[in-house]
Structure 1
């Protein structure tokens, strides 16, 4: 993997340490910093046969796992948890050493945003994990079975999840580095609430067609949100774009 923006010497391959500098969170955060991580085809599809793994590549996977390694918490929508059959975040000796060096917990929790809390307490999110998941939901949701399965339930809203409030609650727990892995509905709501600080978008050199969803599908922003291009990495035809919240 090499960088074309900012430009690096021709042929220079980026090391893991280089990527940490590229994708690292700002230091001394006092509030939440939300990074959103997506892969899409060249024609904008976010899935092949309803799963994102059909678009993935080792380069994209490397950045995806790095995003997890650098984060305090992984934020994901309930629909994505069910479709992708989420389990707890994994690690290995190298990745655990990186997190320890950065002063982070051994593994980040998964925080699921779900208005109804319709999750399977016998699913791998609860049974195949190193740390209990957080369920970010509403006061109307039935959460007793999830709490019994070990979930830490955060109530942020009555009828719908109040995302600013939810992120503030996570920040109060020291979970400020937020790595959002989708899905499109959650991303759209983050955009509408003007909560996105960074977008990491991997573009796969594939054409999918059909009726696959775009990376954001839901409420629109009151006005378009300006992003600044922060980096462009390439490998094997895949383009890994990183955008930061615009300064203007």
Structure 2
């Protein structure tokens, strides 16, 4: 069966990315230039670029252009006290975080249940974006009891990690009670914040933090760009509590 023009364009660009002829972070020529280079129409060029974006090889930024994906693949090791910052630093990747929104809300049922609170109890809701070498890799929405951590939002905005904030409130150590991981398509806003194609999947990780007495102190949902992370699970010792972390 004859190959369609867009498939030929896709494969040639993919080969150039693999060989390094198109380096990570490089901007592709404009659409008219690509049409001229491949003697093809706009539809074929756009379909090829869309296919490579879904595969995670290209990143299309509205108003800026199309770039070769430069995000590092994070090997996120799940262990009893593993933190986002530690995971990245151990791989020579620079971690960073940005506060997107924060407010105080009445806890919806799922949040209240996870934190063992009456429904409607005031909780912090903080949304942050995690970056690896400046590239977005995750979005996280975390909930913490307002009564336990009244200054949580202010301290997070100032750059303090969750671990440091817990310590400042007398919680020297904490564990992960539960973890759930599943895949889905991102919302339009999630794809925009992660700078990925909306047809590319994300991995959703929900977790609950507990102190050493078992009291829930935090509940969060992290949305990871699926092509930028892989999770490695260590086999836990008996009664150990393990989960990935997004928000340190």
TM tier, shorter chain?
A: under 0.3
Higher Cα Rg, which structure:
2
- How high is the TM-score relative to the length of structure 2? 0.27
| Structure number with higher strand proportion | 2
- How high is the TM-score relative to the length of structure 1? 0.27
Q: Which has the higher contact order (CA 8 A, sep 6+)?
A: 1
